[in-house]
Structure 1
Amino acid sequence: MLMHETMVAQSLFEVILAESRKQNARPVSAKISCGAFDAVNDEVLSFAFDAIAKDTACEGMKLEIEHKPLKGHCKSCDKIFEFELSSPKCSDCGGDFEILPDEPLLLETVAFESED
């Protein structure tokens, strides 16, 4: 298990569990988003989260992980576009571009079900 994903899973778990207690409800799913440079491995993060959540209100919940694409700003035509590291030119004019700041890792939503 990678340390990065374990630390991310632990942080997510703590936030979700605290909100679960406030809501007096069981979390059933969560959606997170992350940028390309966050280097999050979906399988490892899910495995780490499942291990940490065992025997808690978070056990069995589903994690949905969305990877946001890299974006660049063309110095020639001023276009903002998504790109892959393997394509180092503007998708419109072929010009050089600057990489825009990467998206942060965010806990977007958590779905709960009442514990009535």
Structure 2
Amino acid sequence: MRSSFGCVLKRYREEAGLTLAELSIKTDISSGTISKIETDSLTLPNMRNVIRLAETLDISLYEAVMPYLDKIKRTKTFELLLETAINQGNAVLTQKIASKLLECPKSNTFLSLDYLL
């Protein structure tokens, strides 16, 4: 079973020797929010925060995003993740996010296809 992002985040933070407060300062994300992500208290945290935390602690985007991919319902969130994955050259994650975007019940398939093209 894959570790949750919260567990991964906490491990990387501790390996970096950072307290919640120090990571909060580095990322401009409240220590309370970081704590909630680490303890998996947030079912679906803000993906901008997840990306920022992953980049700060050098956690792969794949490891950060995959635990949440099935929970995302917003087209704009998929678009943000897709843009980030493409910019990082992560072909595997790009494919997974693009597939989820097309499956998203709140998106118009034709608009999503147009966006992907």
State the TM-score, normalized to the length of structure 2.
Answer: 0.24
Per residue, is there more strand in 1 or in 2? Answer: 1
Of structures 1 and 2, the one with the larger relative CO (CA 8 A, separation 6+) is 1
State the TM-score, normalized to the length of structure 1.
Answer: 0.24
Per residue, is there more helix in 1 or in 2? Answer: 2
